[in-house]
Amino acid sequence: MKNHKIILVVSLFIFLSVLQSCDPERFCTEPKCAYSPVSTEIQGTMSGKLDSIIHIGDTIRFYMKIPDTMVTNYGNIVFGRLLQNSFFGINCSGGDSLIGSGEGAFNGTSHLVTPILIKYGTMSGGRKTWDYSTREYECLFIPTEKGRYIISIIGGRIEMTANDGRSWLLNPAIKLNCAKRYDQYLSWMDSSMRPEAYSIISRKIGWYCFEVK
């Protein structure tokens, strides 16, 4: 009976060890990790029709390129190759008015502006991302309906190898060059929601709003 218990404990220990070895490391700097402490900033550029009020058919262009040298909190990292699990996000939402302080809480029909893709890559699951060879992404936003719109560019994840052969996992923040029209955005909602809404959007660097008439 005693030997049986010892065998059971040893077997359980081995099972848990194998199970733990299959999980990704929780927090380190390489692509195999679930999370990484390495951060960097990428400049995104909006161009085209950037007035606060535009019209149906006007074009807004968004472009960004991951730089050859990434400036990070771990020092400068010179790019070698972009890996295929790298991604970012674009959220576009719209409507007639805002009914909540949270971003995207619109009243009325959701007037979505679908990005028209110019330069991009495709992940295995179909998600669009940076071009793997040039590290570029470019798209056009051409509204087809009247409404009030928000475009948010979300950082995501960069998996890469540097030119020295070392592998990295980076947390990118994508910063836009365009003006932040907080007053315009806040005017779309009831005054009681404005303080909370401002505290949310003032922390965002990849954020843009406009109206289509």
Residue 58 shares a structural domain with residue 134: yes
Residue 20, domain extent: 1-25
User: Domain check: are 152 and 185 in the same one?
Assistant: yes
Number of structural domains (the chain) is 2
Do residues 66 and 142 both lie within one domain? Answer: yes
Same domain as 83, residue 171: yes
Segment 78-128, tens digit of pLDDT: 999 999 999 999 999 898 888 877 666 787 767 789 999 999 999 999 999
> Is residue 21 domain-resident?
yes
Residue 23: band (very low, low, confident or very high) from pLDDT cuts 50, 70, 90: low
Domain assignment present for residue 31? The answer is no
Average pLDDT over the chain, rounded to an integer: 88
pTM: 0.85
Instruction: Quote the distance between the C-alpha of residue 23 and its chain's center.
Output: 25
**Residue 17 belongs to some domain of the structure:** yes
- Are both 19 and 93 inside the same structural domain? no
**Which pLDDT value is given to residue 105?**
78
